[in-house]
Amino acid sequence: EEIRDQLDQYYGIHAKPQQLKFTYGTAGFRTKANILDSVVFVVGILASLRSKYLDGQTIGIMITASHNPPEDNGIKLCDPQGEMLEQSWETYATTLANLNTKDEIFNEIIKLSTQLNINLDSPSNVVIARDSRDSGPILTSSTIDGLKVLNTQYKDFGLLTTPQLHYLVKSINTLNSTTSYGEPTEDGYYQKLSNAFKKIYNNFITPASSLSSSASSPQKIKITIDAANGIGGPKIDLLIQKYLNDLIDYQIVNNQYQDPLALNVGSGADYVKTNQRLPNNINPVPLQLYASFDGDADRVVFYYQDEEGLFKLLDGDKISTLLTSFLKDLISKSGLNAEIGVVQTAYANGSSTNYITDVLKVPVVCTPTGVKHLHHEAAKFDIGVYFEANGHGTVLFSDNFISVLKNTSPSTPQEQRAIETLFELSNLINQTVGDAISDLLTVLIVLTIKQWNPANWDELYTDLPNRLTKVIVPDRYVFKTTNAERQLTSPEGLQEKIELTVKKYQNGRSFVRASGTEDAVRVYAEANSRAEADQLSHDISELVK
Ligand code: NG1
Ligand code: ZN
């Protein structure tokens, strides 16, 4: 009865416009902000049910549309250990979001609670945060109305990056346990990352070993960050200023996060990766390192200008190979036995896959697009490195391997340093989800230890020229794939035609799949030269149309 009363009170202002259809996809619900109100309201209800179902553990809600344009927004749920919402619940989310009346919603709540054996009177807890979009505050308050329907305790953390919210959820749910992840505050996040960074730094960089001109103080680590005018800017600013100012010399551009209309415009990781060019407001100095975050700071890509003035991208594949080679070296120096593996998607550059397999001799697993697939596979290794080419990724350390690191007594100083570094990397690298801030600090410390400039990093392997394009088709759902999205099974006959075309190109590779976040089909093509990659991309797009 109480639930009915609450729905009576709140449903009216959050009723769904009849004609709209919504789907909980790889990025949660994401669309134009002005049609999201009814959706976020029911997500509040669903988060409450999920928390009650999990004995009151805290569920996270993030309001963001990542790299999408300013007028978009979105909402996604985060499970108790900071992971993405369990798949079966994505279906409940979609069902709830498409109900058209108060009675239907009430009946669905009752149906789910019966089916899943949820006690509706039991406690439920939620934390919520948002990126810097101007629709954020109003959508937050509509979500909170949804939370009130089932009497959920909540805390609104306001502006955060997506990975910070994941950090908080895991920290809250592990509080006072032996697996405590960190202090469940925003500052706790900064402390955890900066402490790990400093420990690794001090283990390797001493004034004597540095190449600095003045022997007494090593040079500061230099980085310029394009924050896409999003929430990552003020957050990394806070972290470095408060905790790492004496080690890092940094500059943030495109940092107008208070101007929501500037978000992701001519800037950010997606812009840089897709267009393979510099963002606005960067005048590159050759061989200096630059980084771009996306709008909610869960992706990062790096780049530099080479001595000939050419723009060079260091994307998710380059991050993955840099970290894998460093970690592999540490494992061997530690004297420990650990299985390291890399997880990629079909969008990974072919050269990166060859480099990891043939040079690093580390196994590579290919999964469908979407972080939850990569995350799941990475969790099977002692150290699982996963990055999408677009810069979203992280490194997972298994619980078992972390306890090995904690309990091993090293027999040499070299072993000790390797073991300590591996352990601190597990603290520096966000274990819940890809995190631009955490990944940035990790790349910086690895480059500093190796004394590498961006060109040294880039030399590990040479990317095959590639092109990623979108083709608008009448119905993208007819494009069905197999083999981790690398081959089409439908429409009939198309895969054969693609293969015949690809055969004409040296080192040619191409695949076609329907986007999960946009109404389009994506065509990826790579080949030996820029011109051939473009031609292949064109040929395949013509087949798809
Ligand atoms: P779709 O639209 O399904 O290709 C895109 C990205 C994914 C992932 C999701 C979620 C590419 C080619 N695809 O998915 O990697 O990041 O968005 O944001 O970059
Ligand atoms: Zn993002």
Shared domain for 387 and 520, answered yes or no, is: no
Closest CA to 49 of 100, 111, 138: 111
**Exposed (0-12), middle (13-18) or buried (19+): which is 43, by Cβ within 10 Å?**
buried
Task: Supply the pLDDT for residue 322.
Answer: 98
**CB 392 near ligand 1, within 6 Å:** yes
For the chain, which residues score pLDDT lower than 70? Answer: 207-216
CA R_g for the chain: 24
Shared domain for 474 and 538, answered yes or no, is: yes
Quick check: 194 and 201 in contact, CB under 8 A?
Answer: no
Shared domain for 363 and 250, answered yes or no, is: no
**Ligand that lies nearest to the alpha carbon of residue 67, given by its number in the listed order:** 2
Task: Supply the pLDDT for residue 207.
Answer: 59
Distances (CA, A) of 422 to 199, 286, 318, 383, 412: 11, 32, 20, 10, 15
Burial 200-235 (b: 16+ CB within 10 A, else e): bbeeebeeeebeeeeeeebeebebbbbbbbbbbbbb
Q: Residue 21 domain-assigned?
A: yes
- State how far the Cα of 225 lies from the Cα of 167, in Å rounded to an integer: 22
Catalytic (active site) residue 141: no
**Exposed (0-12), middle (13-18) or buried (19+): which is 356, by Cβ within 10 Å?**
buried
Q: Residue 169 domain-assigned?
A: no
Instruction: List all residues 6 or more positions away from 119 whose beta carbon is below 8 Å from its beta carbon.
Output: 52, 113
Q: Residue 149 domain-assigned?
A: yes
Task: Tell me if the bond preceding 413 is cis, omega within 30° of 0.
Answer: no
Shared domain for 87 and 44, answered yes or no, is: yes
Ligand 2 ion: Cβ-proximal residues, 5 Å cutoff: 66, 294, 296, 298
Q: Which own/partner contact pairs does 340-343 have at CB distance under 8 Å and 24+ positions apart?
A: 340/381, 340/382, 340/383, 340/384, 340/385, 341/365, 341/377, 341/378, 341/380, 341/381, 341/383, 341/384, 341/385, 342/384, 342/385, 342/386, 343/367, 343/374, 343/377, 343/378, 343/384, 343/385, 343/386
Output the DSSP codes for 232-292.
Answer: HHHHHHHHIIIIITTTEEEEEES--TT-GGGTTTT-SHHHHHHHTSPPTT--PPTT--EEE
Q: Residue 382 domain-assigned?
A: yes
Task: Supply the pLDDT for residue 519.
Answer: 87
Shared domain for 137 and 221, answered yes or no, is: no
**Ligand that lies nearest to the alpha carbon of residue 28, given by its number in the listed order:** 1
Q: Residue 304 domain-assigned?
A: yes
**Ligand that lies nearest to the alpha carbon of residue 348, given by its number in the listed order:** 1
**CB 528 near ligand 1, within 6 Å:** no
Q: Which own/partner contact pairs does 82-90 have at CB distance under 8 Å and 24+ positions apart?
A: 82/166, 82/167, 82/169, 82/170, 82/181, 82/431, 82/432, 82/433, 83/372, 83/375, 83/432, 83/433, 84/371, 84/372, 84/375, 84/433, 85/24, 85/28, 85/50, 87/372, 89/46, 89/50, 90/24
Domain boundary among 293, 312, 331: 312
DSSP state of 35: G
The amino acid sitting at 357 is T
Quick check: 166 and 78 in contact, CB under 8 A?
Answer: yes
Shared domain for 128 and 248, answered yes or no, is: no
Shared domain for 293 and 191, answered yes or no, is: yes
Q: Which atom of ligand 1 is nearest to the CA of 468?
A: 12
Q: pLDDT digit string (tens) for 100-150?
A: 999 999 999 999 999 999 999 999 999 999 999 999 999 999 999 999 999
- State how far the Cα of 300 lies from the Cα of 292, in Å rounded to an integer: 6
Task: Supply the pLDDT for residue 211.
Answer: 53
Shared domain for 280 and 378, answered yes or no, is: no
Q: pLDDT digit string (tens) for 442-474?
A: 999 999 999 999 999 999 999 999 999 999 999
Catalytic-role residue among 38, 48, 51, 66: 66
Shared domain for 27 and 112, answered yes or no, is: yes
Helix (H) or strand (E) holding 47: helix 37-53
**CB 479 near ligand 1, within 6 Å:** no
Torsion of the alpha carbons at 98, 103, 108 and 113, rounded to the nearest 10: 150
The CATH number for 507's domain is 3.30.310.50
Helix (H) or strand (E) holding 133: none
Quick check: 438 and 428 in contact, CB under 8 A?
Answer: yes
> In the numeric block, which tokens belong to residue 262?
């500037």
Shared domain for 507 and 451, answered yes or no, is: no
> Residue 258 is part of which domain span?
186-312
Q: Which of 366, 390, 480 maximizes ligand 1 atoms within 8 Å of its Cβ, making it the mutation to test the pocket?
A: 390
The CATH number for 135's domain is 3.40.120.10
Distance 171 CA to ligand 1 centre (A): 28
- State how far the Cα of 387 lies from the Cα of 435, in Å rounded to an integer: 11
Helix (H) or strand (E) holding 349: none
How many domains does the structure of the chain reveal? 4
Q: Residue 106 domain-assigned?
A: yes
Quickly count: other Cβ atoms within 10 Å of residue 105's Cβ: 24
Q: Residue 178 domain-assigned?
A: no
**CB 516 near ligand 1, within 6 Å:** yes
Shared domain for 454 and 513, answered yes or no, is: no
Task: Supply the pLDDT for residue 516.
Answer: 86
Q: Residue 415 domain-assigned?
A: yes
Shared domain for 386 and 491, answered yes or no, is: no
